[in-house]
A and B are shown apart, each in its own frame.
Chain A
Amino acid sequence: MPEDLKDQNSGKKGLTALLEEVREEVKVLKEKAAEDVKTLKDPEKTQLYKSIFRVKHDDKPRSRALGVLSNVFLHLHPAKINRDAVAYNYTWGMGGITFYLFIVLTFTGALLMFYYHPSKVQAFRDILYLEHDVPFGKLLRNMHRWAAHLMIITVWLHMFRVFLTGSYKKPREFNWAVGVILMLLTMLLSFTGYLLPDDQLGFWAVTVGTNMARATPLLGHEGPFGAQLGMTPYNDVRFGLLGGSIVDSNALLRSYIWHCIAIPLIAATFMAVHFWRVRKDGGISGPSPVMLESEIKEERKF
């Protein structure tokens, strides 16, 4: 009995102790919750934020620099830039806008690919389907087309600006050449896309365009010295471009593959080089201090 009592007593004691314990724990929990709420008010201190962004978001120079350098999308930029270069009047923003349009075109283009079959039977019907039945299909196609046209304009204006600011001069000579190739690729992208709706406009534009290839010197059957080298409509450079002697289903497929896969990949590669070289050649070219005629150094002769 006494043992039982003892047990009972201890049991009673245990119950109150348990209650005490629970109260203690609730208190601790409350404190923790309060702490959590406090840290949630300052999300930059959470593990989640730190794991993703690493760097504090404040206006300390170090944080600002690291915010750019430690972000994969922003790290093409330097941490700091010429104070006068951010004004619109120097660069006109044309290079950046061109790149942005390339992204827009990749996005809308990928969406268009969901609705398009590169075959003579389907292609034109797919455009009609896209224009009349696909939700926002017309908007999608319009955006792809106008962004492509706008991109050509911005590429030309970018080149115009780079020329007028003399930015192709030492040490940026090679990057200008890369830029010229990118301009060519932009126009070829636009041109290969022209045939894809398989309508009269694209068909005849591509017919006119590729007919010029007949006249390629040496490699075209109507070009100078082509016939002498054994070129016919069935083995010359135009045949290679079209996959046939006329613009037909093979030409449509080839145009599709060049447009959606090959040229975008080539262009992306050249773009990577172009942006890389902008940084490696010393960043944006100016506005730099003017140089005077009296300061021209005589070139070293070898």
Chain B
Amino acid sequence: MDWAQLWEIASEPDNVPIVALLFLVPFYTFYAFRQAFANDRLIGQLEANPAMAKTHHRKVQPWKPGWDREIHVWPFLLRMEFLAAIIVTLILMIWSITLNAPLEEPSNPTLTMNPAKAPWYFLGLQEMLVYFDPWMAGVVLPTLILVGLMAIPYLDANPLGNGYYTFKQRKFAIMAFVFGFLVLWLSMVIIGTFIRGPGWMWFWPGQTWDHNRLIFEANRDLPDIFHITSAPGKGIFGAIVVGLYTILMATFFHKLFTLTPFNRRIYKRMSLIQYVTLQLFLIIMMTLPVKILIRQLFRIKYVWITPWFNI
């Protein structure tokens, strides 16, 4: 174990935000889910007891008849905002006094940095470059991530869970988002920071970054395994495989959409456009973990090879 190097990476001032994320994200996830489960218990009680559902104020927060449901912004909200501003200022002051912003040598186009890393919040995209060609990882997928995020409100046909934490009433939506945000996006940021070394090679935490390291791994393409050599053959074969993957994934998600009676009820509320768009975004999202797996387990680089693009 090369503890010195691990410490060097973790304590690098520009990596402090990622180390902070390692603590902040689990904390806030816990914080949210604790409230979600508390609300779920209340929902369970109310569903079991319709009489109680008629009279209960339907929040876990205490409330008694006669209490105001709304309070004055001045002072109750403004003092919180003022306090938050002071605390954030203090944190920033201490952070800025103790840690210096990095400044390397003057820019030099003839001296390549190795590893040349993007800013930490774009490391997810840089990590995707390993699994996809630049036009996919750098342009198409980021665009789809943004469009997909913006489309969420129009694709989610579930009217429950509007304005309160819950897990029980929105299992599919929450699991999909947590998978995309925590499992895919944040873990790729963390891999990009802690695991990727010189040459963007995989170094386990604690493994010394060796600038002369060579990895003799021959990446294969899926058609090679089936001994398909002609260009049209590869194109047609890839199209078939991608088509099969799409059908398989679509079936899988359709099974999830119709898994429970509640899911089926939401499914019935969806229009055809909503259903098809949601399927499309989910299937494209799943290409990332699938490509990560076939790359890391079977060293397969491309599935679909055409003269114009490779996937």
A-B complex is real? yes
Q: Cβ of A201 and Cβ of B162 under 8 Å apart? A: no
| Segment among A5-13, A42-50, A222-230, A253-261 that sits at the interface with chain B | A222-230
Q: Cβ of A165 and Cβ of B164 under 8 Å apart? A: yes
| Segment among A18-26, A28-36, A167-175 that sits at the interface with chain B | A167-175
Let me know if B58 is at the binding interface, CB within 8 A.
Answer: yes
Q: List residues of chain B with CB within 8 A of the CB of A81.
A: 70-73, 76-77
Q: Cβ of A200 and Cβ of B107 under 8 Å apart? A: yes
Please give the distance in Å from A25's CB to the nearest CB on chain B.
Answer: 45
Q: Provide the B154-175 mask, 1 if CB < 8 A to any CB of A, else 0.
A: 1010011111111001100110
Given A101-B88, A146-B101, A176-B152, A166–B113 Cβ distance below 8 Å? no
Q: Provide the B227-267 mask, 1 if CB < 8 A to any CB of A, else 0.
A: 00000000000000000000000000000000000100100
Q: Cβ of B150 and Cβ of A161 under 8 Å apart? A: no
Given A157-B24, A204-B112, A215–B269 Cβ distance below 8 Å? no
Bound Cα distance from A288 to B163, whole angstroms = 5
Q: Cβ of A143 and Cβ of B96 under 8 Å apart? A: yes
Please give the distance in Å from B10's CB to the nearest CB on chain A.
Answer: 15
Nearest residue, chain B, Cβ from A127: B103
Bound Cα distance from A124 to B103, whole angstroms = 9
Please give the distance in Å from A115's CB to the nearest CB on chain B.
Answer: 14
Please give the distance in Å from B303's CB to the nearest CB on chain A.
Answer: 16
Let me know if B65 is at the binding interface, CB within 8 A.
Answer: no
Bound Cα distance from A220 to B149, whole angstroms = 25
Q: Cβ of B134 and Cβ of A214 under 8 Å apart? A: yes
Give B114-130 interface residues, CB cut-off 8 Å to A. Answer: 116-122, 125-126, 129
Let me know if B55 is at the binding interface, CB within 8 A.
Answer: no
Q: Provide the A61-80 mask, 1 if CB < 8 A to any CB of B, else 0.
A: 10011011000001001111
Q: Cβ of A287 and Cβ of B108 under 8 Å apart? A: no
Bound Cα distance from A167 to B164, whole angstroms = 8
Please give the distance in Å from A290's CB to the nearest CB on chain B.
Answer: 5
Please give the distance in Å from B278's CB to the nearest CB on chain A.
Answer: 15
Please give the distance in Å from B263's CB to the nearest CB on chain A.
Answer: 12
Bound Cα distance from A231 to B269, whole angstroms = 46
Q: Cβ of A191 and Cβ of B122 under 8 Å apart? A: yes
Bound Cα distance from A204 to B203, whole angstroms = 21
Nearest residue, chain A, Cβ from B67: A83
Q: Cβ of A152 and Cβ of B73 under 8 Å apart? A: no
Bound Cα distance from A67 to B75, whole angstroms = 10
Q: Cβ of B165 and Cβ of A164 under 8 Å apart? A: yes
Our count of residue pairs bridging A and B at CB distance below 8 angstroms stands at 295
Nearest residue, chain B, Cβ from A84: B61
Instruction: Give the interface SS of chain A, mostly helix, strand, loop or mixed.
Output: helix
Q: Cβ of A290 and Cβ of B84 under 8 Å apart? A: no
Q: List residues of chain A with CB within 8 A of the CB of B102.
A: 201
Q: List residues of chain B with CB within 8 A of the CB of A100.
A: 84-85, 88
Q: How many residues of A contact B (CB 8 A)?
A: 107
Please give the distance in Å from A287's CB to the nearest CB on chain B.
Answer: 5
Q: From B93, B104, B152, give the contact of A168 (CB < 8 A).
A: B152
Q: Cβ of B92 and Cβ of A104 under 8 Å apart? A: yes
Nearest residue, chain B, Cβ from A209: B118
Q: List residues of chain A with CB within 8 A of the CB of B125.
A: 212
Q: Cβ of B118 and Cβ of A143 under 8 Å apart? A: no
Q: Cβ of B81 and Cβ of A96 under 8 Å apart? A: yes
Please give the distance in Å from A203's CB to the nearest CB on chain B.
Answer: 4
Q: Cβ of A86 and Cβ of B135 under 8 Å apart? A: no
Give A237-280 interface residues, CB cut-off 8 Å to B. Answer: 246-247
Q: List residues of chain A with CB within 8 A of the CB of B146.
A: 180, 184
Q: From A65, A77, A199, A285, give the contact of B106 (CB < 8 A).
A: A199
Q: Cβ of B72 and Cβ of A61 under 8 Å apart? A: yes
Q: Provide the B22-62 mask, 1 if CB < 8 A to any CB of A, else 0.
A: 00110011011001100100110011000001000111010
Let me know if A135 is at the binding interface, CB within 8 A.
Answer: no
Most buried by B among A82, A160, A200: A200
Q: Cβ of B153 and Cβ of A165 under 8 Å apart? A: no
Q: From A90, A205, A207, A289, give the contact of B57 (CB < 8 A).
A: A289
The 6 A-B pairs with the shortest beta carbon distances in the complex, nearest first, are A212-B138, A286-B163, A288-B163, A289-B58, A215-B134, A173-B153
Q: Which residues of A contact B (CB under 8 A)?
A: 61, 64-65, 67-68, 74, 77-90, 92-93, 96-97, 100-101, 104, 124, 127, 131, 138-139, 141-147, 149-150, 152-153, 156-157, 159-161, 163-170, 172-174, 176-177, 180-181, 184, 187, 190-191, 194, 197-205, 207-209, 211-217, 220, 222-225, 246-247, 285-294, 296-297, 299
What are 22 inter-chain pairs, A to B, with CB distance below 8 A? Answer: A64-B72, A65-B74, A80-B72, A81-B73, A83-B63, A87-B61, A100-B88, A101-B88, A138-B100, A153-B24, A159-B149, A164-B165, A190-B119, A191-B122, A200-B105, A200-B108, A208-B116, A212-B125, A216-B135, A224-B308, A292-B53, A294-B47
Q: Other than the known A149-B16, A160-B181, what 18 A-B pairs have Cβ atoms closer than 8 Å?
A: A68-B78, A74-B74, A79-B73, A80-B73, A142-B100, A146-B96, A152-B17, A156-B181, A157-B25, A161-B28, A176-B150, A199-B104, A200-B104, A201-B14, A205-B116, A207-B116, A212-B125, A290-B58
